[in-house]
Amino acid sequence: MQNHLTNTTALSDGKIEQIKSGLTHDDEILLSLYGKREKVYPREVHGIFAFLRVLAAIGLLGIFYGLPWLQWDGRQSVLLDLPARKFYIFGLTFWPQDFLYLTFLLMLAALGLFFFTALAGRVWCGYACPQTVWTEVFLWIEHMIEGTRIQKMRLDKSLLTLRKFRIKATKHALWILFAAFTGFTFVSYFTPAKILVDELVNFQLGPWETFWIVFYGFATYGNAGWMREQVCIHMCPYGRFQNAMFDDNTLIVSYDEKRGEPRGPRKPSSDHRRQGLGRQGLGDCINCTLCVQVCPTGIDIRNGLQYECIACSACIDVCNDVMDKMGYPKGLIRYTTQNALQGKQTRIIRPRIIIYGVILTGIISIFIYSLSQRIPAGLDVIRDRNQLYRETAGLIEKCLYTENFEYG
Amino acid sequence: MDDKVHEYQLRAEGIPDLILETDQTPVVVDAGKVIDLPVRLRADETNLVKRSTDIVFTLTATDEAELKITEKAKFLGPQP
C-alpha cells in the first residue's frame, strides 16, 4: 500500500482511477487523505435564505467597516487604545483592571454557541461566521469578473492566454484591494481611523501597523479567496464537535429521503405526480444535482447530515426553485429535525434548551447588572505605621493615610 | 464609565463629631491617575467608648453624586 501512495503523486488522474478501482475500502480512505483538493465552484443561488444571508453579511460587514468611522463623545466610538491601556466602547471606558468583563463576554459567547447550536444547528456557520461572510464577498467579486459557475470552470481548465491572465489579474487585484481595506479596518480599531489614513497617505505607518495591516489583509485574502471551505472542513474545530451539541430536536438542513427517493430524471408523461402514479414510480428528487452545485463545501446533502455542512441553506433555496418548476410542493430539502424526519414530534422546549437558556440568561443579567453597578473609582485606606494616635488638648488625633485611586 | 477629571469630597463617619483634616483641598484626580492623600482624623476623647472604633470613609465626586465609594477603617485610640 505504501507503494500506491508514493506513486500517486506522479500518476495521471486516469491512472489514479485505475488504481482506486482495485483498492479495498481502507485503501481508499487512506488515499483520500493524500488526495488533492477538488476546487468547489458554488453556483449562484437566489431565494429567501440567500436573501437573509446577504442581509446578514451586509449588516455584519457594515458594522465591521463602519464602526471605526463613527464618532462618540469626540472620539472614535470603538477604540482599543493599547499604549494608553484604555478601551473605549461607545460611552464606556474600560481599563486593564476591568478584564473581568472580558471573561464575562467570552463566557457569554461560549454559552451562546451552545444554546443556539442546540436550538438551531449551525446557524452561526451559515449566516454569521466571518469565514462564510468574507468568502461570500470574495465569491461575489469572482462572479462579477469570471462569470457563472460553468464559465469559471471552463476558464480554469483553459490554457493561459492573455485574456485568462487579464481576467485572473483583475480578480486578484480586486481581492487584494478589498483584503487590504479589511486589514486597514482591523488596525483602525487600535489606531484611530482618521490618524491611520493620515499616516497611510504620508507613508508614516509604524512598523506594527504595517505588519498587522499586511498580515490581516493576507489572512483575509488567503482564507476567503483560496482556502474557503477547507477552513471549515479541516481547520475549524466547531464543525467537528457539533455532534456533541446536536440532538434529535436540533434544526438541521436535510433532504427528505422518504419523499425524494428513488431519485431520477423523468419525462412529463411519467411524472408520478401528474400521472397519479403514487409511490410506485420515482420520488420527488429529479436528480438535477443543483443542490450539489450550489454547495459551498462541495457535499451532496442527499447523503444525510455531514460534518462539512455549514447549514448555509443554499440547497434549500435552489431545490425549492426546482420543486416550483416541477409543480411539486416545496421543501424536499428543508430546515427540519431528525425527529420530524422520522415522523416524531419535534420538541423545541427540552431540558437541554432550558438549562442552556437559564444559564445564558443568568450570565447576561449578572453581566449587565455588574456593568451598571461599576464604580469607576477605587479607594484604599492605609493607616500611618509610625503613630497610632496623638493626644492634643483633650482631642484624640489619629493619623491616617488614604490612597485614592480613580480610573475613569 | 468616563474618561474625565473628577473633583472629590472625602468624609469620615462612625464617631460623633469626627473631624477630617487634610492639607489638600479640593481633591482632584485626573482620569486614570492614582493620588496619595494624607488625612488626619480628630475625635473628642469623651466620644470614644472603645480602644478601636469602626469608621467609614466615603469618597464622593462633587460633580457626580452617583460616583461614590466607601471603605471601612478603624480608629485606634487610648483605652477609655
The answer to whether A317 and A45 are in contact (CB under 8 A) is yes
Looking at beta carbons, which residues of chain B come within 8 Å of A93? 1-3
Which member of A95, A389, A404 has the closest CB to residue B59? A404
Asked whether residue A247 is domain-assigned, the answer is yes
Portion of chain A with pLDDT greater than 90, in percent: 61
Same domain for A19 and A154, yes or no, is no
Same domain for A185 and A306, yes or no, is no
Q: Measure CA A178 to chain center.
A: 18
Per-residue pLDDT band for A393 (boundaries 50, 70, 90) equals: low
Q: Do B43 and A395 touch (CB under 8 A)?
A: yes
Looking at beta carbons, which residues of chain A come within 8 Å of B3? 86, 88, 93, 408
Which member of A377, A391, A400 has the closest CB to residue B73? A400
Counted domains in chain A? 4
**pLDDT value, residue B50:** 84
Portion of chain A with pLDDT greater than 70, in percent: 88
At residue A320, the 3 state secondary structure works out as helix
Asked whether residue A42 is domain-assigned, the answer is no
Asked whether residue B53 is domain-assigned, the answer is yes
Looking at beta carbons, which residues of chain A come within 8 Å of B78? 389, 391, 396
Torsion angle defined by CA atoms of residues A392, A395, A400 and A406, in that order, rounded to the nearest 10 degrees:
-130
**pLDDT value, residue A280:** 59
Closest CA to B40 of A377, A387, A404: A387
Of residues A51 and A20, the one with the higher pLDDT is: A51
Same domain for A387 and A294, yes or no, is no
Q: Is B70 an interface residue toward A (CB < 8 Å)?
A: yes
- Say how far apart CA A336 and CA A259 lie, in whole Å: 14
- Phi, psi angles (nearest 5°) of residue A369: -65, -50
Per-residue pLDDT band for A163 (boundaries 50, 70, 90) equals: very high
Size of interface A-B (CB pairs under 8 A): 117
Rounded to 10 deg, the angle between the A130-146 and A48-66 helix axes is 110
Weakest mean pLDDT among A98-107, A275-284, A302-311: A275-284
Same domain for A231 and A131, yes or no, is yes
Asked whether residue B1 is domain-assigned, the answer is no
Asked whether residue A369 is domain-assigned, the answer is no
Same domain for A109 and A215, yes or no, is yes
Same domain for A160 and A220, yes or no, is yes
Q: Do B31 and A408 touch (CB under 8 A)?
A: yes
**Which chain A residues touch B if contact means CB-CB below 8 Å?**
84, 86, 88, 91-93, 95, 374-381, 383, 388-389, 391, 394-408
Same domain for A277 and A302, yes or no, is yes
Per-residue pLDDT band for A276 (boundaries 50, 70, 90) equals: low
Distance in Å, alpha carbon of A74 to nearest chain B alpha carbon: 12
Same domain for A202 and A303, yes or no, is no
> What is the total residue count of chain A?
408
Same domain for A71 and A196, yes or no, is yes
Sequence-ordered list of residues with C-beta below 8 angstroms from that of B22, at least 6 positions apart, any chain: B10, B37, B38, B39, B40
Of residues A223 and A273, the one with the higher pLDDT is: A223
Per-residue pLDDT band for A231 (boundaries 50, 70, 90) equals: very high
**pLDDT value, residue A22:** 65
Per-residue pLDDT band for A13 (boundaries 50, 70, 90) equals: low
Residue A313 in this model has a pLDDT that exceeds 60? yes
Chain B interface, mutation test: which of A80, A391, A398, most B Cβ atoms within 10 Å? A398
Nine-digit cell string for B55: 469608621
DSSP labels, B29-55: E-TT-EEEEEEEEEEEGGG--SSEEEE
- Say how far apart CA A350 and CA A119 lie, in whole Å: 10
**pLDDT value, residue A3:** 41
**pLDDT value, residue B37:** 82
Mean pLDDT of A352-362: 95
Domain that holds residue A23: 2-33
Same domain for A230 and A252, yes or no, is no
Mean pLDDT of A310-324: 95
Mean pLDDT of A290-295: 95
Looking at beta carbons, which residues of chain A come within 8 Å of B75? 398
Same domain for A280 and A384, yes or no, is no
Q: Do A377 and B69 touch (CB under 8 A)?
A: yes
The model's pTM: 0.81
**Cα A18-A20-A26 angle, rounded to 5 deg:** 165
Of residues A67 and B22, the one with the higher pLDDT is: A67
Asked whether residue A176 is domain-assigned, the answer is yes
Q: For residue range B13-64, what is the model confidence (pLDDT) as tens digits?
A: 888 888 888 877 778 887 777 788 888 888 888 888 888 888 888 888 888 7
Counted domains in chain B? 1
Weakest mean pLDDT among A19-28, A109-118, A175-184: A19-28
Q: Do B48 and A398 touch (CB under 8 A)?
A: no
Which member of A381, A389, A400 has the closest CB to residue B78? A389
Closest CA to A295 of A40, A55, A53, A120: A40
Q: Do A374 and B1 touch (CB under 8 A)?
A: yes
Q: For residue range A169-222, what is the model confidence (pLDDT) as tens digits?
A: 999 999 999 999 999 999 999 999 999 999 999 999 999 999 999 999 999 999
**pLDDT value, residue A98:** 84
Which member of B2, B27, B34 has the closest CB to residue A405? B34
Looking at beta carbons, which residues of chain B come within 8 Å of A375? 67-69
Distance in Å, alpha carbon of A205 to nearest chain B alpha carbon: 27
Sequence-ordered list of residues with C-beta below 8 angstroms from that of A350, at least 6 positions apart, any chain: A247, A249
Q: Residue A16: how many CA atoms within 13 Å on its side-chain side?
A: 15
Q: For chain B, what is the radius of gyration of the CA atoms?
A: 15
Same domain for A165 and A306, yes or no, is no
Which member of B1, B35, B40 has the closest CB to residue A92? B1
- Say how far apart CA A335 and CA A325 lie, in whole Å: 20
Chain A interface, mutation test: which of B10, B68, B76, most A Cβ atoms within 10 Å? B76
The answer to whether B8 and A383 are in contact (CB under 8 A) is no
Mean pLDDT of A95-121: 90
Looking at beta carbons, which residues of chain B come within 8 Å of A95? 32
Asked whether residue B62 is domain-assigned, the answer is yes
Domain that holds residue B65: 6-76
* Residue with grid cell 431520477, as numbered in its chain: A264
Asked whether residue A226 is domain-assigned, the answer is yes
At residue A333, the 3 state secondary structure works out as strand
- The widest CA-to-CA distance across chain B, in whole angstroms, is 47
* Residue with grid cell 440532538, as numbered in its chain: A247
Distance in Å, alpha carbon of B4 to nearest chain A alpha carbon: 6
- Say how far apart CA A378 and CA B70 lie, in whole Å: 9
Looking at beta carbons, which residues of chain A come within 8 Å of B39? 400-402
Q: What integer best gives the mean pLDDT of chain A?
A: 86
